[in-house]
């Protein structure tokens, strides 16, 4: 089965020997329920700011405008709806130019045409990727059946169905505080449905436009930390010199720096972007709700998901532990089939406010 992945997807040799790195020294996330934001105030303040801004400028001149962030008093506030639920952060409404400029190193044609997107509503995004511990709570509560032989790892120099991995045993050590992987789009949608029912609030996957907006957090550079690919090792877990020390991955192309992790890192191992979100670049790809489209022609400009296109292929964003800096960029796009469970892919969730 063909799968569109980053540069290392088709160049790997693999046995599933595990190397225990990066799994210590980070505290597990506390899990108290905490109050949700004051919604009436948040919505009223946002609506006033959006109205004052006038209509969205979709012209070429509009593309050159800087991002707009309609910050309100509740922006950045974190909360948790139940002890089992991920910690959520209030993301302010705003607008930005989605996609990458032609001159950006590592750019692919599928990152255009650039277009202005207005997200006229505040929403909440999980502060971290959904963890192994949080996923285990879901499986325990529901008995959700994961083992359908769809887990993909690297074997015989190909990224393929090995029938020997799962979210519990992806082929490398995973603590409860690391991002769950070997989870597919179908599983991710089951998780948000469960969480919605459990909490009485509407959880869902992010749209691709929301993901890039949240990943950029007001920046226009290739990465949220700037344009330096070597700084990836300071801010994200990708394919790095550490990974290249693993006998499985000697053929990898890697970033010219050491981020300390061969496989996944704890979700709080790296710093947050300006929206207070950790791991929007690297560690594990995030499934979005969008159908794959080879370009942004006809893409929604209101923050909603692209609901037409090749819907067996769902957009994944953010890059992963097996990817070089080009794939860790804020504008980088990939896809995966909706039913497969790759060991590089996990989820991050949104909540309607």
Tokens coding 133 = 């511990």
Answer yes or no whether residue 323 interacts with Ca ion by CB under 5 A.
no
Nearer to Ca ion, 214 or 239 (CB): 239
Answer yes or no whether residue 204 interacts with Ca ion by CB under 5 A.
no
How many residues make contact with Ca ion (CB under 5 A)?
A: 5
Shortest Cβ 230–Ca ion spacing (Å): 13
Nearer to Ca ion, 212 or 259 (CB): 259
Stretch that binds Ca ion, among 37-45, 50-58, 173-181, 230-238 (CB under 5 A): 230-238
Answer yes or no whether residue 259 interacts with Ca ion by CB under 5 A.
yes
Rg of the chain taking only CA atoms, in angstroms: 19
The SS3 assignment for 110 reads helix
Nearer to Ca ion, 97 or 344 (CB): 344
Q: Name 161's Cβ contacts closer than 8 Å, sequence gap at least 6.
A: 1, 149, 150, 151, 152, 340
Nearer to Ca ion, 17 or 33 (CB): 17
Q: Which of 237, 248, 273, 341 binds Ca ion (CB under 5 A)?
A: 237
Nearer to Ca ion, 261 or 278 (CB): 261
Nearer to Ca ion, 93 or 262 (CB): 262
Could you tell me if 49 and 74 are in contact, meaning their C-beta atoms sit under 8 angstroms apart? no
Phi, psi dihedral angles at 199 (to 5 degrees): -100, -20
Q: Name 77's Cβ contacts closer than 8 Å, sequence gap at least 6.
A: 37, 89, 90
Shortest Cβ 327–Ca ion spacing (Å): 12
Shortest Cβ 345–Ca ion spacing (Å): 16
Tokens coding 35 = 């109050």
DSSP structural state of residue 186:
H
Q: Which of 104, 212, 240, 345 binds Ca ion (CB under 5 A)?
A: 240
Shortest Cβ 225–Ca ion spacing (Å): 16
Cβ atoms within 10 A of the Cβ of 315, count? 26
Q: Is 143 exposed, middle or buried (0-12, 13-18, 19+ CB in 10 A)?
A: exposed
Interface positions with Ca ion (CB under 5 A): 237, 240, 243, 259, 261
């Amino acid at each position: 089965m063909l799968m569109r992945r980053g540069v290392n997807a088709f160049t790997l040799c693999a046995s599933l020997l595990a190397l225990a790195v990066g799994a210590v020294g980070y505290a597990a996330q506390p899990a108290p329920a905490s109050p949700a934001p004051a919604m009436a105030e948040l919505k009223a303040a946002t609506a006033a700011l959006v109205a004052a801004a006038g209509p969205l400028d979709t012209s070429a001149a509009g593309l050159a405008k800087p991002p707009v962030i309609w910050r309100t008093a509740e922006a950045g506030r974190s909360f948790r709806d139940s002890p089992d639920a991920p910690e959520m952060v209030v993301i302010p409404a705003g607008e930005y130019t989605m996609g990458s400029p032609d001159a950006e190193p590592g750019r692919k044609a599928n990152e255009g045409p650039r277009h202005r997107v207005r997200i006229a509503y505040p929403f909440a995004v999980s502060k971290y990727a959904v963890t192994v511990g949080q996923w285990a709570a879901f499986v325990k509560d529901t008995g959700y059946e994961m083992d359908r032989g769809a887990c993909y790892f690297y074997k015989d120099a190909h990224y393929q169905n090995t029938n020997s991995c799962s979210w519990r045993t992806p082929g490398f050590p995973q603590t409860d505080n690391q991002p769950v992987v070997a989870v597919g789009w179908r599983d991710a949608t089951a998780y948000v449905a469960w969480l919605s029912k459990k909490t009485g609030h509407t959880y869902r996957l992010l749209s691709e436009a929301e993901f890039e907006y949240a990943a950029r957090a007001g920046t226009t550079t290739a990465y949220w930390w700037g344009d330096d690919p070597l700084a990836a090792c300071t801010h994200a877990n990708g394919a790095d010199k550490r990974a290249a020390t693993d006998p499985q991955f000697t053929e990898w192309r890697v970033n010219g720096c050491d981020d300390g992790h061969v496989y996944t890192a704890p979700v709080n191992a790296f710093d947050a972007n300006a929206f207070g979100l950790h791991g929007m670049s690297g560690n594990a790809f995030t499934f979005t709700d969008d159908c794959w489209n080879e370009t942004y022609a006809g893409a929604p400009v209101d923050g909603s998901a692209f609901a037409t296109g090749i819907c067996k292929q769902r957009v994944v964003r953010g890059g992963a532990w097996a990817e070089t800096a080009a794939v860790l960029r804020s504008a980088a796009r990939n896809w995966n089939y909706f039913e497969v469970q790759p060991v590089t892919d996990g989820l991050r969730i949104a909540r309607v406010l």
